Amino acid sequence: QHIRYEKATSNVCTSQVLLANTSAMYAVYHQKSGLQKIAKRVHGLTTLFADELPRLIGDAAVVDTSRPFFDSVVVNTLPRSANEAAALMA
């Protein structure tokens, strides 16, 4: 469907098609084995981050790994003392 420039109200459809085409070409270029390799690397780095974060910043953060994750993790940060909590709220 072609819409004249003067009658177009937004570029939403164009943007969505561009993203769809880009992601399709990315998948075609990398093929199944390449996508699996990329996914394993991303998950491995996320796992490394989740494992090392508590060691790096101590008990100020708790990484929630009770739920499955792929490329992001939930980090609960807690103030170390009542004074620190008050300072954060100020």
List all residues 6 or more positions away from 39 whose beta carbon is below 8 Å from its beta carbon.
70
Q: Rounded CA gap, 45 and 69, in Å?
A: 12
Which whole number is the average pLDDT over 34-61?
89
CA-to-CA separations, 32 to 25, 36, 51, 80, in angstroms, rounded: 13, 6, 28, 46
pTM of the model: 0.64
| Position with higher pLDDT, 26 vs 78 | 26
pLDDT per residue over 11-22, tens digit each?
666 778 888 999
pLDDT per residue over 48-90, tens digit each?
998 888 888 777 777 888 889 999 998 887 766 777 777 767 6
